Amino acid sequence: MAKRIIPCLDVTEGRVVKGVNFVNLVDAGDPVEQALKYEQAEADELVFLDITASSDKRHIMLDVVRRTAETIFIPFTVGGGITDIATIRELLNAGADKISLNTAAVRTPDLINESSDMFGSQCIVVAIDAKWTDDHWIVYTHGGRRPMELDAVEWAREVEQRGAGEILLTSMDRDGTKIGYDNALNRAISTAVKIPVIASGGAGELSHLYDAIHDGLTDAVLVASLFHYGIYTIRQAKEYLRDRGVTVRL
Amino acid sequence: MIAIIDYGMGNLRSVQKGFEKVGFDARIVTAKTDIEAAAGVVLPGVGAFSAAMKNLEEAGIVETIIDQIKAGKPFLGICLGLQMLFSYSEEGTVRTPGLDLFPGAVVRFTGDMKVPHMGWNQLLFRNRGEAADGIPDGSFFYFVHSFYVVPEDPTITMTMTNYGYDFVSSITKDNITAVQFHPEKSQRMGLKLLENFGRLAK
């Protein structure tokens, strides 16, 4: 099995707000165009994080998903503000391969069971935002703004048992720092569950990707800003990993 | 025209778009007459084996599919479209009969590996049909499945893939190519396979 490199695009009202400044883009704000560039750059999967504030503009994301599914030929996940089965069904029918749940999974854990029973574990990802507090990691919701009285390792075990197929694990301590992933967190969660864990938050160097896989024991790495300014390409990252004995798709 | 059979088991747009991308006319069809009129037939499908068989039966196209295959029309099975060619599946509490074009079973992964087997894994070629043209040994394809086929006739195996142990990840015999992985999600190598099939179906 190949370890995966997964670029993440933040999208609001159908426009990319945090993505990559590729050259030769006709419209740098178009998520579909960015997705295509990433596919051509050998990304293994993609994540769209919909940060649209108002839910009455949700249909815009559906259109993005539909157009993306018709344009790229790698799997992609959609997350952000998804709270019910009807929305999950709509997004999957529009062509998303996986759905990522975060706040709604904490608020209504049965949503994990219901959605994985209905659509299969393989398409239900649970995103966990974790922050070191006192002597353990606790779960945050609402885009990392609200602390919960919930231990991240215990929550990871629970979401697996409820039917999640994958965990997207973001370290809030490291997010945006570029000093590397929180591999103590990654290891704690990866060894607590059997489902794949995607590391997120803190990548600033290619060595950080290797560390998340080798030390953090994760199956995939989510990257946002690492490829932002074209300093590294995904191919360079994959060659770097391959040269260190990691199986990657090249 | 390539007919992609829609029997309510998953989104088929990616498969259709994949064929279009490599220059072939592919249509998502449900009617018997459309399947019969096509130059090639694609049977995709994700989900539960028993639900898939039930849907095919309710759509009244089981005989049509078998007839088209036996008549020698190029056929591509994807995921459940591979599994259903075999005698039966062990998915669920009772054995569910398949189309039984090949003797053999569909069984669940055993051992310590994570199930479903999900992600990019390699094809190790045992036989090369024309559908494999230009796809190097060891190429990565995208998999999402918990069950795999165990053919009684080992000579139909096109590729093996290792997931804890080697399993049959695709088969080929005469006009039939059937794969466990998803060419429509396997980027350029996947498109290559669709292109090869499209050429066979011309």
Q: Which chain A residue shows the shortest CA-CA distance from B122?
A: A1
* Res A22: pLDDT: 57
User: If pLDDT is split at 50, 70 and 90, which confidence band does B94 have?
Assistant: confident
Q: What is the tens place of the pLDDT at every residue in B126-171? A: 999 889 999 999 999 999 999 999 999 999 999 999 999 999 999 9
User: What distance in Å separates the CA atoms of residue B182 and residue B191, rounded to the nearest whole number?
Assistant: 10
User: What distance in Å separates the CA atoms of residue B36 and residue B28, rounded to the nearest whole number?
Assistant: 13
Contacts of A184 (CB under 8 A, 6+ apart): none
Residue contact B140–A74, C-beta within 8 A:
no
Residue contact A121–B116, C-beta within 8 A:
yes
Interfacial residues of B (vs A; Cβ cutoff 8 Å): 11, 13-14, 17-18, 21, 46-47, 114, 116, 118-121, 140, 142, 144, 163, 184-188, 190-191
CB atoms inside a 10 Å sphere around CB A20 = 22
**Mean pLDDT of the residues in chain B:** 95
User: If pLDDT is split at 50, 70 and 90, which confidence band does B113 have?
Assistant: confident
What is the mean predicted confidence (pLDDT) over B58-84? 97
Percentage of chain B beyond pLDDT 70 is 100
Q: Which chain A residue shows the shortest CA-CA distance from B16?
A: A70
Whether residue A140 has pLDDT greater than 80: yes
Establish if A122 touches chain B: CB-CB under 8 angstroms.
Answer: yes
Range with the poorest average pLDDT among A47-51, A109-113, A223-227, B19-23: A223-227
Q: What is the tens place of the pLDDT at every residue in A65-85? A: 999 999 999 999 999 999 999
* Res A20: pLDDT: 62
**ipTM of this complex prediction, to 2 decimal places:** 0.91
Percentage of chain A beyond pLDDT 90 is 76
pTM of the full predicted structure?
0.93
Whether residue A21 has pLDDT greater than 80: no
Range with the poorest average pLDDT among A16-30, A50-64, A90-104, B141-155: A16-30
Percentage of chain A beyond pLDDT 70 is 94
What is the mean predicted confidence (pLDDT) over A165-190? 95
Contacts of A14 (CB under 8 A, 6+ apart): A31, A60, A61, A63, A64
Domains of chain B: 2-200 (3.40.50.880)
CB A88 within 8 A of CB A63: no
